[in-house]
A and B are shown apart, each in its own frame.
Chain A
Amino acid sequence: MQGAVTSLKRLLLACIACVLGAAALTFVVDPLQLFRPSRLAAFYSDDTRMQNAGLILSQSFDTAFMGTSLAIHFRQSDIDRALAVHSLKLSMTGSNSRQQAFVLEQAIDRGARRVIWEMDDFIFVDAADIEADPYLFVDLYRRTAKGIASYLFSASMAKESLFALLRSVPPLRGPLTRAAPFLPVKFALSDVDDIYALPRDFDVTRGYNAQKTLAAFAYITDPVRSRFLGEGYGYAAMVRHFEQDAIGLIARHPEVTFDIYFPPYSILQFVAMRDASPETLKIVTDLTARIAQRLTQLPNARLHDFRAIKAVTHDLDNYGDVIHHSPAVDAKVLRWLASREYQVDPKAPLASLDELKAQVEAYHVPK
């Protein structure tokens, strides 16, 4: 009996030692660069909701770039070249306005003086409050005791730290860095520019073409699935979220310039709503009219509307589905932002929207 008691004590003490050892390893290696810029070669993760917490603390920047999957494949170096800024890309796939505003607020607090914000209508649908959001680690951004504990006392982070440590051993550095993107480790990217960007050898023609776009259109307008077009859309709630998250943030930071743009979806996005869910199309147009009217009145905000640029939006070869555009369009977006060619005129905030409405009405889907 005494032996079992001793063994039990030993087991529990050894367990505590292991836990503390793992936490110490994560603290020293700090894969997220939450406490200090990396001493070893820095590596990054594609999990932007988590990675952004470390990027905001470890990178230097004057401009924050925010958006959803529509703004995910931009490269920071391209943004910097096109707009003559020192940017930090913080886009998060499927993010909502609460998450985006929260992350932007952290970036502004760390020195961002310009924000480039790709704004979708669907970011304003109802979602969990930021404090209850299971997908955004708010305590990690805030560096609360809970956030730091969840970072340090984590098996996944201990694994990443161990892998980073192995990668820092000179003979292993080369092979492990090359192998990392193909291994089940999160911090696999050695270049901050590659975070959630298309691989450099990506076959753009195969990924973006009219055939795929039309197939996606047929898929979402199928009567079985067309109800999903309007899922979560409610005008009043969306306006409320826009006011709280976007207007609230912009108004709180008059020293920051906000370049906000409506991305160039393919025309089929709106045609799908026209044909399969007209009530959703009305919500979208009413909401973006409201957004245009509100944003153009703010002194520190500029709105750019790319939705009616027919040469891009009607060329279905630019898309991988009805909304996601190719890297060629990414480059155009940056050029348009730099030239302010499609900036919405505060005196006629609905002009581009009216043009879009006319295009949607007139459009015939290719057979």
Chain B
Amino acid sequence: MLFNSYPFILLFLPLVLTGYFWLGRRSNLAPVIWLAGASLAFYAVGNWQFAGLLLLSIAFNYGVGHLLIVAKLGRSQRRAALALGVAGDLLVLGIFKYAGFGVDNINALFGTHAAVHVLLPVGISFYTFTQIAFLVDAYRGRVAAYALPHYALFVTYFPHLIAGPILHHKDMIPQFEREEGKHPDAHLILCGVIIFAIGLFKKTCLADGIQPLVALAFEARSPSFDQAWLGSLAYTFQLYFDFSGYSDMAIGISLIFGIFLPVNFNSPYKASSIVEFWRRWHMTLSQFLRDYLYIPLGGNRRGRVLRYVNLMITMLLGGLWHGAAWTFVVWGGLHGAYLCVNHAFNALVPTVPSVLARPARIAGAALTFLAVVVAWVFFRAESVAWALRVLRAMADPSNIVFGRDEIAALLLVSIYAMLVWLAPNTQAIMRYDHGNRRVGEALRAGRIRPLILYGASLVLAFGLLGIQSHSEFIYFRF
């Protein structure tokens, strides 16, 4: 089921919401079970064949987590339990996500013709990473014992299940345990609807609206210079609005239930360096990779050279997490290299004088955006060869078409660029403060209400009118 679909908005969400608050008047546990069941139904509607796998994964991880939290195990036994849990998770992820890729590479290397056709369970990367973090924290002694329904809801919680954000148990489970959260809060519902409306508009009117232009670069046999640039920029903005729209919708829906989800986007294309970009793009994944991969690898504690090696490993694996293809590995490798250059630059170049700070920031932002666009070409292309073809076209200004279609595309891309760089983001508009569990304080105080309300109603209306029958989220594939 998609957030940007009429069955979800007009049927599923009102039904689940009504049940949740109705049960919330009677018990503290029943709404949790109801929401977990609804989340499972949400998943099963489009992926019924993998609902069993999701349940098995929950049972397995909860069992291992129980051993780590409750059972009195020795040090080596705890280490073995953690290894078992993480290996089990990675094995399942490996089979479903990487088996085909592995076999393809073996075939290419040895000239064999083995074939593996494994369907990718939607959301497997998200729920696997979520649970690995849980197990590692349980091993580190940072997890209290949780009841199974709360744990199951933490993993399956439908606003995040399919495309993130990646949740942390310490953030989520205490919210599920709170009794006050199970009673409707009109302010949170109002703010949730507004945030959902903004996300829906980003997805249906902005991301889906620019999608056809992507074909200029990525479906043309030999794109011209302007087509390659316009297509690549169109994809850059499509991905941005698609993913940030999804993240906003997830936050908005969750807020209606009284639950605060972490922010996953913070205007990443405004970043003035790659380091800053990764603090603003898919923030929960960046935090996961930092806390559960980069730091365990040694982080920056083992000297400069190993720091760069760790960065490269982290980003290469981050790339492979996005998809089982060499294009994603190259994308991850490029970002790893960008990060190494960025850190080396920071270490070698003295601080910029304050008079040059603004020009330096603008130059940094332009360079960062350019580097990100180049990397997105690999992210989007069918193959590395195809990506190189697009990049060659982007570097060849002698071949320019600039006909009607290209002029129209340029206009559209310019509008999107202005939205990205000049418009405030959702959390700024709504003053969404995940850490302090506060949102829309100005709205609550009665300030700027008409403007926000009628603007939101227009945005919601166009978001609803923009719903198309054949639209999906790009991050579903990861």
**Same complex origin of A and B:** yes
Interface residues of A (CB under 8 A from B): 1, 3-5, 7-8, 10-19, 22, 134, 150, 153-156, 158, 181-184, 199, 219
Given contacts A5-B186, A15-B458, A181-B408, 5 further A-B contacts (CB under 8 A): A154-B466, A181-B404, A184-B409, A184-B412, A219-B221
Number of interface residues of B (CB under 8 A): 35
Asked whether B460 is an interface residue with its Cβ less than 8 Å from the other chain, the reply is: yes
A1-B186, A14-B453 known; A182-B411 Cβ under 8 A: yes
Shortest distance from the beta carbon of A268 to any chain B beta carbon, whole Å: 16
Which of B186, B209, B403, B466 is A8 in contact with, Cβ under 8 Å?
B186
| Chain B residues, Cβ within 8 Å of A155 | 204-205, 462, 465-466
Which of B205, B449, B458 is A7 in contact with, Cβ under 8 Å?
B449
B186, A4: Cβ atoms closer than 8 Å: yes
A8, B462: Cβ atoms closer than 8 Å: no
B460, A11: Cβ atoms closer than 8 Å: yes
Shortest distance from the beta carbon of B266 to any chain A beta carbon, whole Å: 26
A155-B204, A181-B404 known; A11-B411 Cβ under 8 A: no
Residues 41-85 of B, flagged 1 when their CB comes within 8 A of A and 0 if not, give 000000000000000000000000000000000000000000000
Shortest distance from the beta carbon of B253 to any chain A beta carbon, whole Å: 15
A183, B408: Cβ atoms closer than 8 Å: yes
Can you list 22 A-B contacts with CB-CB less than 8 angstroms, sorted by A residue number?
A1-B186, A7-B190, A7-B449, A7-B453, A8-B189, A8-B193, A11-B456, A11-B457, A12-B193, A12-B457, A18-B457, A18-B458, A22-B465, A134-B469, A153-B464, A154-B465, A155-B204, A155-B465, A155-B466, A183-B408, A199-B404, A219-B221
A183, B411: Cβ atoms closer than 8 Å: yes
| Chain B residues, Cβ within 8 Å of A17 | 457
Shortest distance from the beta carbon of B7 to any chain A beta carbon, whole Å: 14
Shortest distance from the beta carbon of B202 to any chain A beta carbon, whole Å: 13
Asked whether B187 is an interface residue with its Cβ less than 8 Å from the other chain, the reply is: yes
8 Å CB contacts to A: which residues of B185-212?
186-187, 189-190, 193-194, 197, 204-205, 209
Shortest distance from the beta carbon of B65 to any chain A beta carbon, whole Å: 38
Q: B205: nearest residue on chain A (CB-CB)?
A: A155
Asked whether B454 is an interface residue with its Cβ less than 8 Å from the other chain, the reply is: yes
Residues 394-413 of B, flagged 1 when their CB comes within 8 A of A and 0 if not, give 00000000011001110110
B460, A15: Cβ atoms closer than 8 Å: yes
B460, A22: Cβ atoms closer than 8 Å: no
A134, B470: Cβ atoms closer than 8 Å: yes
A3, B470: Cβ atoms closer than 8 Å: no
Interface centre among A3, A12, A134 (most CB of B within 10 A): A3
| Chain A residues, Cβ within 8 Å of B469 | 134, 150
Which of B412, B453, B454, B461 is A22 in contact with, Cβ under 8 Å?
B461
B194, A11: Cβ atoms closer than 8 Å: yes
A182, B462: Cβ atoms closer than 8 Å: no
Which of B221, B444, B465, B470 is A19 in contact with, Cβ under 8 Å?
B465
Shortest distance from the beta carbon of A284 to any chain B beta carbon, whole Å: 22
Asked whether B353 is an interface residue with its Cβ less than 8 Å from the other chain, the reply is: no
C-alpha spacing A7/B190, complex, angstroms: 7
Shortest distance from the beta carbon of B409 to any chain A beta carbon, whole Å: 8
A182, B453: Cβ atoms closer than 8 Å: no
A11, B404: Cβ atoms closer than 8 Å: no
Per DSSP, chain B at the interface is helix
| Chain B residues, Cβ within 8 Å of A3 | 446
C-alpha spacing A154/B205, complex, angstroms: 10
C-alpha spacing A8/B470, complex, angstroms: 30
C-alpha spacing A85/B166, complex, angstroms: 63
| Chain A residues, Cβ within 8 Å of B194 | 11
Shortest distance from the beta carbon of A272 to any chain B beta carbon, whole Å: 15
A156, B466: Cβ atoms closer than 8 Å: yes
Q: B453: nearest residue on chain A (CB-CB)?
A: A11
Q: B445: nearest residue on chain A (CB-CB)?
A: A3
B461, A11: Cβ atoms closer than 8 Å: no
C-alpha spacing A8/B247, complex, angstroms: 22
| Chain A residues, Cβ within 8 Å of B411 | 182-184
C-alpha spacing A274/B366, complex, angstroms: 51
C-alpha spacing A22/B469, complex, angstroms: 19
| Chain B residues, Cβ within 8 Å of A156 | 209, 466
Shortest distance from the beta carbon of A3 to any chain B beta carbon, whole Å: 7
| Chain B residues, Cβ within 8 Å of A14 | 453-454, 457-458, 461
Shortest distance from the beta carbon of B402 to any chain A beta carbon, whole Å: 11
| Chain B residues, Cβ within 8 Å of A18 | 457-458, 460-462
| Chain B residues, Cβ within 8 Å of A181 | 404, 408
Interface centre among A1, A13, A14, A154 (most CB of B within 10 A): A14
C-alpha spacing A181/B464, complex, angstroms: 27
C-alpha spacing A158/B411, complex, angstroms: 19
| Chain B residues, Cβ within 8 Å of A219 | 221
| Chain A residues, Cβ within 8 Å of B407 | 182
A18-B461, A19-B464, A134-B470 known; A11-B190 Cβ under 8 A: yes
Interface centre among A11, A156, A183 (most CB of B within 10 A): A11
C-alpha spacing A10/B466, complex, angstroms: 21
Which of B204, B443, B454, B465 is A158 in contact with, Cβ under 8 Å?
B465
| Chain B residues, Cβ within 8 Å of A184 | 408-409, 411-412
C-alpha spacing A12/B14, complex, angstroms: 14
Shortest distance from the beta carbon of A229 to any chain B beta carbon, whole Å: 15
Residues 376-417 of B, flagged 1 when their CB comes within 8 A of A and 0 if not, give 000000000000000000000000000110011101100000
8 Å CB contacts to A: which residues of B409-439?
409, 411-412
| Chain A residues, Cβ within 8 Å of B404 | 181-182, 199
C-alpha spacing A134/B209, complex, angstroms: 17
Shortest distance from the beta carbon of B441 to any chain A beta carbon, whole Å: 12
Q: B210: nearest residue on chain A (CB-CB)?
A: A184
C-alpha spacing A14/B450, complex, angstroms: 11
C-alpha spacing A14/B452, complex, angstroms: 12
Q: B186: nearest residue on chain A (CB-CB)?
A: A4
Interface centre among A7, A19, A181, A199 (most CB of B within 10 A): A7
| Chain A residues, Cβ within 8 Å of B443 | 7
| Chain A residues, Cβ within 8 Å of B454 | 14
| Chain A residues, Cβ within 8 Å of B205 | 155
C-alpha spacing A168/B189, complex, angstroms: 42
B465, A153: Cβ atoms closer than 8 Å: yes
Shortest distance from the beta carbon of B214 to any chain A beta carbon, whole Å: 14
C-alpha spacing A15/B465, complex, angstroms: 11
Shortest distance from the beta carbon of B267 to any chain A beta carbon, whole Å: 24
C-alpha spacing A42/B457, complex, angstroms: 32
